[in-house]
Amino acid sequence: MARGYAVTATQWLLTAIFSVIYGIRRAFHLDDVRDIGFALLTGRPRPLTHGTFQHLLHAIAAEDAERFYQATAEQEVQALGNGTRRISLDGHNLPRWTRLVDLVKGKIGNTGRILKAEELVLAYDLDTLRWLSLRVYQGTKKLSKGLIEMMRELLKHRGSLHGLLRLFFDKGGYSGQNFRTLADEPRVHFYTPAVRYPDNVTQWEQLQETDFDSEPFIFDKHADLPEEEHPTYRLADTEMTINVWEKQKVVDTVTLRAVVLHDPQGEKPAERWPVVLLTDDHESDARDLLNEFGDHWGQEFGHRIGKHDLCLDILPPGYVLSTRRDDEGQLHREVEYDQTALFLSAWLRCLVFNLMSRFAQALGGGYAKMWAGTLLRKFIRRPATLYLIGKELHVVFDPFPGQDELQPLLDELNAKRTPLPWLNNLVVQFSISQDEPLHPLTEHEKRNRLFGDGEHQ
């Protein structure tokens, strides 16, 4: 770490991780924490101050942050094992409300406003609910910029693992160059909706009656609706030719499979052609693909959980603004664009999200799909007493509702006798107290003084 601080890299990293779990939304909230349990989790007798934490964060070299990212991202991908993986890629905006710093503007997806912004482009495993890859950019709509680079990174991190990568992404990744590169990669299939450019609409309008299936298409999600309310479409399983542009010139074309939905009653292109799914997968059933593509929005749920439960949108900006006065007293502002702190902070939150997904899956049953905030509230942010017994640190939770669901996992952890390197290799042991904590209102006289008829003065 930076010179002049008696703080190890492990202590800083643990502070960054457990701050998210503990619910410390912003770095300056560290100054209000006086919890010995939190301090011990970070390997210190007291928590770091926010000034120290922030200074060390901004002192981390970009090369060190990248090395940490590559090592941990590879672990996340390798943990998936062999087999076909369904990966969703998407971008998520971070508006920046600065007037002093010149940032690229872009359209914010959930409000439609044009604002200065930065963007996280993330890869998400739809089945294990884990983040696998990250890029950060100035501006918005950068998915098409990072798509190929992230695909190659995922393949690199998979190494010798067998199985297909099935990439799902929205119109933000639409690009003839991207499609050509993805189609040339035998270990990858991709699925994305077509943009209703005039040239594309012209191709769809030229479809013949014989190109459409005789059986109408109804989404599975609408199957339970009354028959008269079923949205019904015509389906064509055909091909489309997409132009490949370079320097505002068409230099090539790529031909893809197109699964087209058509509503003859529609007037505008968006109504007539509600969904056109492009893919290089020529084996999967067209109807199955249309129903499956909706799973891509699982990443939106993942991002929502990260945003509201793990502060995924509360991140340092990708710049440092400093001020100084010259010899004449004039104020000068200097901006240094450096996204290292933004990138590292975002990725650490992704890793915490992945830890919570693993925790939920370890609990199993109905807890496997439980959101991070619920898990934290029910099982982790619980009162406990610490006991130092020999070479063991005992964490004894107060009784709480649902504790029996956690007990098997605690027994498994205790059996492993896991040492904590940052606490002199003490072995941590978890248990749940069998005695209810002493409550001052269990005595009738005291309860009556508070809530009774006022006879006791």
Taking the C-alpha atoms of residue 227 and residue 231, their distance in angstroms, rounded to an integer, is 9
Q: Parallel, antiparallel, or unpaired: how do β-strands 165-169 and 188-193 relate?
A: parallel
Tell me if 167 sits within 8 A of 86, measured CB to CB. no
**pLDDT confidence of residue 449:** 75
pLDDT range class, residue 456, cuts 50, 70, 90? very low
Q: pLDDT of 337-394, one tens digit each?
A: 999 999 999 999 999 999 999 999 999 988 988 999 999 999 999 999 999 999 999 9
**pLDDT confidence of residue 33:** 92
Q: pLDDT of 272-302, one tens digit each?
A: 999 999 999 999 999 999 999 999 999 999 9
450 versus 92: the higher-pLDDT residue is 92
Maximum Cα interatomic distance, the chain, rounded to a whole number of Å: 92
Give the chain's mean pLDDT.
92
DSSP string computed for 158-199? HTT--S-EEEEE-GGG--HHHHHHHHT-TTEEEEEEPP--HH
Only one residue has tokens 């499956």, namely 292
Q: Which fold has domain 64-301?
A: Transposase Inhibitor Protein From Tn5; Chain A, domain 1 (3.90.350)
Phi, psi of 402 (to 5 degrees): 85, 10
What are the sequence ranges of the domains in the chain?
Answer: 1-59, 64-301, 382-457
Reply yes or no on whether the pLDDT at 26 is more than 80.
yes
Average pLDDT in the 295-314 region? 94
**pLDDT confidence of residue 340:** 96
Sheet holding 426-432, edge to edge: 384-389, 392-397, 426-432, 419-420
pTM of the model: 0.91
**Per-residue b or e along 403-432, where b marks 16 or more CB atoms closer than 10 Å to that residue's CB:** beebeebbeeebeeeeeeebbeebbbbbeb
CA distances from 409 to 106, 351, 391, 441 (A): 46, 21, 22, 33
Angle, vertex CA 197, rays to CA 288 and CA 120, nearest 5:
70
Sign of the CA dihedral running 375, 379, 383, 386: negative
Q: HSE (CB half, 13 Å, CA atoms) of 149?
A: 11
Tell me if 349 sits within 8 A of 306, measured CB to CB. yes
pLDDT range class, residue 457, cuts 50, 70, 90? very low
pLDDT range class, residue 321, cuts 50, 70, 90? confident
Percent of the residues in the chain that have a pLDDT greater than 90, as a whole number: 81
Reply yes or no on whether the pLDDT at 59 is more than 50.
yes
Sign of the CA dihedral running 444, 448, 452, 456: positive
Minimal CA–CA distance to 64: which of 9, 4, 145? 9
**pLDDT confidence of residue 227:** 82
Q: pLDDT of 136-173, one tens digit each?
A: 999 999 999 999 999 999 999 999 999 999 999 999 99
Average pLDDT in the 114-134 region? 96
